Structure 1
């Protein structure tokens, strides 16, 4: 039953995306649609990992692969490029959903929690953790969806070098 529900969630995401739009725009829409769907239905992300042979994951790969092909990714790199993008999207979406559920289970306020974590990071040795000190300034106010899309853009930029 969970597998069928996951297939339905993914089908609704893909049906809501204009796959005839510019490939990069459509890829971002697919990625963000999956991110939001897994955030709303965290069990769907877990189900995709549990049964990767189900239609939902096949549809995700098919649509992302087709769009990457339309971007001009060479055939020899298409499988790896699709795998990298799919794994980024599903991995980050699943982790984001898990983090949100962990905060909800604790009845924690996200901004307050991130502010506390940022303060802890700021107290670490800056010689050992220079990046963490820089990131601590951005952590409390960051937007998970925006950061996710920035990651999609980074992956797509890397894929664009495969030509």
Structure 2
């Protein structure tokens, strides 16, 4: 899903608008089966599958929005690294008392891997699911 939404940013918005449509139901079904295979039972299945779905759609949609913004609002020559380096520079200039965390992680922004971050987030959610069984 991440790759599809990154390639076609409008997909995420479409999926979010019509959660009862076939595509969203198929995605939810696939996630739900995987949650069930993990041994999650009862109402926790709904919560776990919904959390995973919301996370993947949310992160994918956020990345797609950033891509669309960059294409629409920035110079055509702006690439991902340049865009993220400029954002990191702005983060480092934030007020140190109001934004100590954001300033401390600014150096990681330009080189981060969107897909890697998504997968790390899924791992965190799965660890929480496993810990709650």
Q: Which residue of 1 aligns with 2:100?
A: 130
Deviation track 1:26-80 (CA, whole Å, cap 9, x = no partner) reads: xxxxxxxx00011111121111111111111111111100111001112230001
Of 50, 55, 65 in structure 2, the residue corresponding to residue 83 of structure 1 is: 50
Distance in 2 between residues matched to 1:124 and 1:50, nearest whole Å? 35
Distance in 2 between residues matched to 1:44 and 1:124, nearest whole Å? 34
Q: Which residue of 1 aligns with 2:89?
A: 119
Q: Which residue of 1 aligns with 2:121?
A: 151
Gaps of 5+ in 1: 1-33
Gaps of 5+ in 2: none
Residues 46 and 94, structure 1, Cα contact 8 Å, conserved in 2: yes
1:116 counterpart SS class? helix
Q: Which residue of 1 aligns with 2:65?
A: 98
Deviation at 1:128, TM superposition (A): 2.0
Distance in 2 between residues matched to 1:99 and 1:126, nearest whole Å? 25
Distance in 2 between residues matched to 1:63 and 1:140, nearest whole Å? 33
- Runs (4+) of structure 1 exceeding 3 A deviation are none
Distance in 2 between residues matched to 1:145 and 1:104, nearest whole Å? 20
Q: Which residue of 2 aligns with 1:66?
A: 33
Distance in 2 between residues matched to 1:121 and 1:42, nearest whole Å? 26
How many residue pairs are counted as aligned between the two chains? 130
Distance in 2 between residues matched to 1:71 and 1:53, nearest whole Å? 25
> TM-score scaled by structure 2?
0.92
